[in-house]
Structure 1
Amino acid sequence: MTALLASAALLIGGAGYAASRKAPADPARAIHETLIVLDTHFDTPANLGRPGWSIMDRHATVTDGDQVDYPRMVQGGVDGGFFAIYTPSGPRTPVGDRAARDFGIQRAVQIREMAAKHSDVFALALTADDAAKAVAAHKRFVFLSMENGYPFEGDLTLMRTFRGLGVTMMGLVHFKNNDLADSATDTPEWHGLSPKGKEAVAEANKLGVVIDVSHASDDVLRQTVMLSSAPIILSHSGMRAIHNHPRNVSDEDAKLVAAKGGVIQINAYSGYMVDPPAASAARDAAMKELMASYEKADTMTVAERRALIARRKAIETQFPAPRANFDMFMQHLLHAIKVVGIDHVGISGDFDGGGGLDGLEDITAYPKVTAALLKAGYSPADIGKIWGGNALRVLRAAQSLADPAVLPKVPVTN
């Protein structure tokens, strides 16, 4: 059974499973339905605390701003993904660290509660094999990840706490530097990893946690590749050769990641794919005021959220800005495959976290990617690697190198 599940990490090839799904008339969609399709970075957990919000309801991107929910996972043929515990950067003080710790734990519990409450359609995933098991049981799998190491920067033993809550991927840093590492979008402070950041890499290896270097500086990426005994991942990044932005990875660094067995997951974040609009003091002021309101977005009612989205659309209409499109996304994806090979590339839309572009607004558009890859000449087996096989391989490799003596027991609730 184990061998069968391992092979299913690329394709669900059993005739029984294929027959259990209604065969689509579109040949590309039919192939899409045979693959394990996962996204390595959903920011959807930010919605879990909102009054009246449920992942079981279908939402609309144009009015709600939401891009991921169960009905659209079904429509988009998305089998699961990594649901992120995103913690905004804050004061690097004992008080700030404790607040970040508590926030991170609360968010992890919310994700677990979501999976447990809807265990008829969701399954908590702790290993790569769990993803295949969930798909075989006709459920969507839920991995936990962390975006920003702020919740554990003050006490690295908290990494074991979060591993015990089911976290299998951790990013060390976000938009601003922290006590662990430099950010790609901040002034260098540590010139890579801090001494504590290097300890965090070693601890992640012991725990079998995949290290995510999206948002990290180039120096952090290179040092992590050198120090980590396990492959690493960029859970949602682009290619700098296609668009020169510090959040995107250079060809040289992408090759370093691939040489260690890692994966670059191409995202769909317009701001990292097109140049920003011309400077406008009025637009900047309007957006600054709007973004202040977003600080309470995860506790807003549906009506309050829709009003906020309407305000944003009004600003965007008044001050139009260039927006990336599906063809640009494919340029990043195809370039990454060309540079590092089919075994080291994956996909994440960065949905519910600012992702989305013309032609790829939410997860319902994912079958279009499969169709485009088929048109580009890639086989179903190749596309299966991109959609899930590569990321699951990295997870499996990281967990195979874990130290059993330090692994916490992770309770499974479904």
Structure 2
Amino acid sequence: MRVTTMFGLSLGLSLSIVAGASVAADTATAQRLAQDAVIVDTHIDAPGELLSHWDDLGLATPGKEFDYPRARQGGLDVAFMSIYTSPEQDTTGTARQTAHTQIDAVEALAGRHPDKFALLRSPADVERLRAGGRVLLALGMENGAPIGDDLSQLAAFHGRGVRYITLAHSANNRISDSSYALQKQWGGLSPYGEKVVAEMNRLGIMVDVSHLSDDAIRDVLRITDVPVIASHSGMRHFTPGFERNLSDELAKAIAAKGGVVQLVFGTGFVNPKAAADLQAYFQAEAEFERANAAAVAAGKPVRSADEFDKAWKAAHPVPVTHIDAVLDQIDHAVKLVGVDHVGIGSDFDGVSGNLPVELRSVADYPNLVAGLQARGHKDGDIRKILGGNLLRVWTAVEAAAQH
């Protein structure tokens, strides 16, 4: 997920324990569980970051939220690398090339450090490949734009290792309506989008409903023959009116199909004020674009997008948020849909550093474990949330594939 225009503020903090945060007294116990459990994070935006500024993520990279040393410090085992393309790249026809280039970057990272990373294409290979402390890199495509109008591209990207696809991103596309779009195009999935879901089921690619409109999620659940995931979403219970987060109704529907809701860490999704500001931003941006279009038609000067964004950020500082906001989301989801249908999808490297103080990077999963323990979650249930549930769904989708 990328919303850099609004959430550009970085707090520059990395703390394990902060006053007011829910953490367990015995942090060593939390650290041991984080190291022993299989932690699967379904949304890390490292590939796009590598294209904008290359870093060797096998080494300590303080400017990013994912690198090997901190992943091992935090106990991360499976990192789904987000192959993100924008609506603008969809419009210009560059999305497919960009996606392949990002996959190349992930493959290069694993090839450069075979002792630290391995590419993961099947949940059946997790135990074998993570031996020796390797971090496993799986691929999730954020935005179905690279598929274009060609269903055969699904098999091509499956062949390159893509194991989930977020059907749309911040704008409607040929597949689906977006939760962010002020005007919906299809009233859910497009007819082509229905074919995309069916083909993903056939190939064994998980369908990701994060970013989709409510009606599109309902369409996915009506069509799919296998469980689906929300790779990085929050609970709308805490952010009323914010369609990007899941309603209780939809979360229960995903669980009823056997799926899993992977809860996000980003401030804009777990803090009510930040979520409200994000909704207001899209409204203001639409008005800004209308005003500029009118100015062009009248032969008058237009205001720059950079000027608009700078003014918006100054007027809407991102609120400081603590780990309790994420723990509240997990507690609510577990009570709502059951512990077997909840997981984590951080959005590290995708929200411009706007994260809870105690969840600043992949080193900080033990803080989440400590918080869950402090709130009374049993270690077996925590293991499910950290990765067991996602691996179960992935295994079911793979088993149902017909290729």
Same fold (TM over 0.5): yes
Name which of structure 1's ranges 230-239 and 243-252 shifts more when overlaid on structure 2. Answer: 243-252
Q: 1:367 to 1:160 in 2, by over 3 A?
A: same
Match of 1:289 among 303, 306, 319: 306
Does residue 173 (structure 1) correspond to residue 175 (structure 2)? The answer is no
Tell me which residue corresponds to 1:261. 258
Map of 1:384 onto structure 2: 383
Superposition deviation, residue 376 in structure 1: 1.7
CA RMSD of aligned residues (A): 2.6
Q: In structure 1, what is the Cα distance between the partners aligned to 2:277 and 2:347?
A: 21
Partner of residue 409, structure 1: none
Q: Are 2:194 and 1:198 equivalent residues in the alignment?
A: yes
Shift of 1:374: 1.3
The SS at the match of 1:33 is: helix
Q: 2: CA distance between counterparts of 1:25 and 1:222?
A: 41
Check if 1:107 corresponds to 2:102: yes
Contact 1:192 1:217 in 2 (8 A): yes
After superposition, give the CA deviation of every residue in 1:179-232 in whole Å (9 maximum; x if it has no partner). Answer: 000000102110000010000000000100000010001111111111111100
Choose the corresponding residue for 2:328, options 322, 328, 331. 331
Structure 1 residue 57 displacement after superposition = 2.5
Any gaps of 5 or more consecutive residues in structure 1? 1-23, 293-311, 405-414
Aligned to 1:3: none
Indicate how the Cα distance of structure 1 residues 123 and 315 shifts in structure 2: closer, same or farther if over 3 A, else same. same
One-letter amino acid of the counterpart of residue 367, structure 2:
K
Counterpart of 2:85 (choices 75, 84, 87) is: 87
Cα distance in 2 for residues equivalent to 1:353 and 1:361: 12
Take 2:329 and 2:42, find their aligned partners in 1: how far apart are those partners? 17
Q: Supply the distance in 2 between the matched residues of 1:25 and 1:230 (Cα, whole angstroms).
A: 38
CA distance in 1, matches of 2:391, 2:193: 25
Matched residue, 2:295: none
Please identify, of 227-236 and 51-60, the stretch whose mean Cα deviation from structure 2 is larger. 51-60
Please tell me the residue identity of whatever aligns with 1:207. L
Change in 2 beyond 3 A, CA 1:32/1:290? farther
Contact 1:104/1:151 (8 A) holds in 2: yes
- Aligned partner of 1:263: which letter? V
Candidates 15, 36, 39, aligned match of 1:37: 39
Q: Comparing both chains, which one has the higher relative contact order based on Cα–Cα distances under 8 Å and sequence gaps of 6 or more?
A: 2
Structure 2 residue corresponding to 1:207, chosen from 200, 203, 206: 203
Distance 1:392 1:57, change over 3 A: same
Amino acid paired to 1:57: L
Query: 1: distance between equivalents of 2:136 and 2:304?
Result: 36
Could you give the per-residue CA deviations for residues 309-364 of structure 1, whole angstroms, max 9, x where no partner exists?
xxx9x996886332432111111111011100000000121010005222222222
Q: Please tell me whether the aligned partners of residues 55 and 61 of structure 2 are also in contact (alpha carbons under 8 angstroms).
A: no
- Residue-by-residue CA offset, 1:256-315 (whole Å, 9 max, x unaligned): 0000000001101211232245989xx9899942899xxxxxxxxxxxxxxxxxxx9x99
The answer to whether the 8 Å contact 1:171/1:212 transfers is yes
Q: Which runs of 5+ in 2 are unaligned?
A: 1-25, 289-302
**Which amino acid in 1 is paired with 2:77?**
D
CA distance in 1, matches of 2:342, 2:314: 35
Q: Which residue of 1 aligns with 2:118?
A: 123
* Matches of 1:238 and 1:25, distance apart in 2: 26
Question: Percent identity at matched positions?
Answer: 36
CA, structure 1 residues 226+319, in 2 after alignment: closer, same or farther (shift >3 Å)? closer
2:375 is the counterpart of 1:373: no
- 2:191 maps to a residue whose letter is P
**Which runs of structure 2 are paired with 1:19-168 in the superposition (5 Å)?**
26-50=28-52, 52-60=54-62, 64=63, 66-90=64-88, 96-97=92-93, 99-168=94-163
> How far, CA to CA, are the matches of 1:290 and 1:68 in structure 2?
31
Contact 2:260/2:343 (<8 A) preserved = yes
TM-score in terms of structure 2 length: 0.81
State the 1:162 CA deviation: 0.3
DSSP 3-state at the match of 2:262: strand
Q: Secondary structure at the match of 2:154?
A: helix
